Structure 1
Amino acid sequence: MIQVKDLHKSFGDAHILKGITTSFEKGKTNLIIGQSGSGKTVFLKCLLGLFEYEQGSIAYEGKNFSDLSKTEKINLRSEMGMVFQGSALFDSMTIAENVMFPLRMFTKQNKSEMEDRVNVVLQRVNLENAHNKMPSEASGGMQKRVAIARAIVNRPKFLFCDEPNSGLDPKTAIVIDNLIQEITAEFNITTVINTHDMNSVMEIGEKIVFLKDGLLEWEGSSETIFRTENEAVTNFVYSSNLFRKVRRMYLEENN
C-alpha cells in the first residue's frame, strides 16, 4: 500500500499539487485520471521519487519516504517497476537483454539465475519465443509486454505505469489492461496507472483517483463512478456519447 498525506509540489510560483491525501491499495489496479494540467504526471513522478515535494508525506507499506536513509531510498527504488509511455526499450539490446537489465542493475544474481528469471517473466507475458528479437522487430503491443516483463522481473512491490495504452489499437489496449490487472492480483503488487483511457477506467479501475487543478476532486471505483453526481467527473469521463449511453443504461438497470 502507498499512503499519501497532504502532498504539495510547486515549480517556482506554480503550485501544481495542492494538498493531496489518498491511498493506493495493494493487489489492486489504482488509476490516476484527470485533464491535461491536472497534476497527474507530477503526482506520479512524486510517487516514483523523481520529484521532491515541499510538504506532506508518502509512505510505502508504512515507511515514510522522507525518513529513509540514502541506502534505504535506493533499496526502495529497487522494489519499484516502471512501464513507460513509449515502452522505453533499448534499441541495441535484444528483448531478453532488455528484460534482464534491471537484474544486472539491482541484483547480484549470476547469468544462469538471471536467464531463468527472464524466461519466467517472458513466458508470463506470452513472449516465450521472443528472446532474440530486437525491439524494432516487435509490434507496439509486443513492446508493451516486454516493458511489463522488464518492470516485474525484479519482483517489485510497486508497479507504476504511465499511459500504458498510448499508441495501441483498442483490442491490443484491452490485452495490456487485462495483463496488468492479472499480474497485479497474481503477485499482490501495488499498481498505480496514470491514464487518459476511459476504457481502462471502466474495465480495470478498482481504485480511481481523479485530479483537477492539482486537487483530489473525487475517488472511487469503476462501479461508483457510474453513480457519482460530481459534475467535474461526469464531464471528463462521459465526454463521449458512447460512455454517456453506457452510464445511462447502468443507472436504469440499477435503480
Structure 2
Amino acid sequence: MIAVENIHKSFGEAHILKGITARFEKGKTNLIIGQSGSGKTVFLKTLLGLFTPEQGSIAYDGKLYSELTGDEKRNLRQEMGMVFQGSALFDSMTVEGNVRFPLEMFTKQSKSEMQDRIDFVLKRVNLIDAHHKYPSEISGGMQKRVAIARAIVMNPKYLFCDEPNSGLDPKTAILIDNLIQEITEEYDITTVINTHDMNSVMEIGKKIIFLKNGLKEWEGSNKEIFKTDNKAVTDFVYSSELFKKVRQMYIEERN
C-alpha cells in the first residue's frame, strides 16, 4: 500500500499539488484521472520519487520515504516497475534484451537465472515467440506487453503505468487493461495507473482518484463513479456520448 498525506508540490510560483491525501491499495488497480493540467503527471512522478514534495509525506507499506537512507531509497526504487506512455523500449535491443536490461543493471543473477526469468515474464504477457524480434518488428500492442514484461521482471511491489493505452485501438487497449489487472491481482502488487481512458475507468477502476486543479476532487470505485452527483466528475466522465448513454441506462435501472 502507498499512503499519501497532505502533499504539496510547486514549481516556482505554480502550486501544482495542493494538499492531496490518498491511499493506493495492494492487489488493486488504482487509477488517477483528471483533465490535462489537473496535476496527474506531477502526482505520479512524486509517487515515483522523481519529485520531492515541499509538504506532506508518502509511505510505502508503512515506511516513510523522507526517513529512508540513500541506500534504502535505491532499494525501494528497485521494487518499482514502470510502464511508460510510449513504451520507451530500446530500439537497438531485441524484446529479450529489453526485458533483460533491468536484471543486468540491478541484479547479480547468472545468465541462466536471467533467461529463466525473461522466459517466464514473456510467457506471462503472451509473447512466447517474440524473444528475438526488435520493437520495430512488432505491433504497438505487443510493444506495450514487452514494456509490462520489463516492468515486472524484477518482481516489483509497486507498478506505475503512465497512459498505458495511449495510441492503441480499443480492442488492444482492453487486452492491456485486463493484463495489468490480472498481474496486479495475481502478484498482489500496488498498481497506480495515470489515465484519461474512460474505458479503463469502467473496466478496471477498482479505486479511482479524480484530480482537479491540483486537488483531490473525488475518490471511489468504477461502480460508484456512475452514482456520484459531483459535477466536476460528471462533467469529465460524461463528456462523451457513450458515457452519457451509460449514465442514462444506470438512471433508468434505478427507476
TM-score, with length taken from structure 1: 0.99
Deviation string, structure 1 residues 55-96 (Cα, Å, up to 9, x no partner): 000000000000000000000000000000000000010000
1:158 counterpart residue number = 158
Deviation string, structure 1 residues 24-68 (Cα, Å, up to 9, x no partner): 000000000000000000000000000111000000000000000
Identity %: 77
Task: State the Cα distance separating 1:248 from its structure 2 match.
Answer: 1.4
Tell me the SS of whatever aligns to 1:105. Answer: helix
1:176 counterpart residue number = 176
1:168-247 alignment runs, 5 A limit: 168-247=168-247
Letter in 1 for 2:34: G
Task: State the Cα distance separating 1:254 from its structure 2 match.
Answer: 3.2
Tell me the SS of whatever aligns to 2:72. Answer: helix
Structure 1 distance, partners of 2:196, 2:242, is: 16
Structure 2 distance, partners of 1:52, 1:227, is: 35
Letter in 1 for 2:181: Q
1:90-169 alignment runs, 5 A limit: 90-169=90-169
Letter in 2 for 1:25: E
Check conservation: 1:201, 1:222, Cα contact below 8 A.
yes
Structure 1 distance, partners of 2:237, 2:216, is: 15
- After the TM superposition, which segments of 4 or more aligned residues of structure 1 sit over 4 Å from their partners? none
Task: State the Cα distance separating 1:204 from its structure 2 match.
Answer: 0.3
Structure 2 distance, partners of 1:119, 1:89, is: 18
Tell me the SS of whatever aligns to 1:27. Answer: coil
Unaligned runs of 5+ in 2: none
Asked if 1:36 is matched to 2:36, the reply is yes
Deviation string, structure 1 residues 138-182 (Cα, Å, up to 9, x no partner): 100000000000000000000000000000000000000000000
1:48 counterpart residue number = 48
TM-score, with length taken from structure 2: 0.99
Check conservation: 1:226, 1:250, Cα contact below 8 A.
yes
Letter in 1 for 2:231: E
1:11 counterpart residue number = 11
1:72 counterpart residue number = 72
Tell me the SS of whatever aligns to 2:156. Answer: coil
Structure 2 distance, partners of 1:52, 1:126, is: 37
Task: State the Cα distance separating 1:247 from its structure 2 match.
Answer: 1.3
Structure 1 distance, partners of 2:251, 2:224, is: 11
Task: State the Cα distance separating 1:252 from its structure 2 match.
Answer: 2.0
Check conservation: 1:226, 1:251, Cα contact below 8 A.
no
Tell me the SS of whatever aligns to 1:74. Answer: helix
Unaligned runs of 5+ in 1: none
- The Cα RMSD (Å) is 0.6
Letter in 2 for 1:207: K
Task: State the Cα distance separating 1:251 from its structure 2 match.
Answer: 2.6
Tell me the SS of whatever aligns to 1:179. Answer: helix
Tell me the SS of whatever aligns to 2:217. Answer: strand
Tell me the SS of whatever aligns to 2:8. Answer: strand
Structure 2 distance, partners of 1:230, 1:244, is: 15
2:24 counterpart residue number = 24
Letter in 2 for 1:5: E
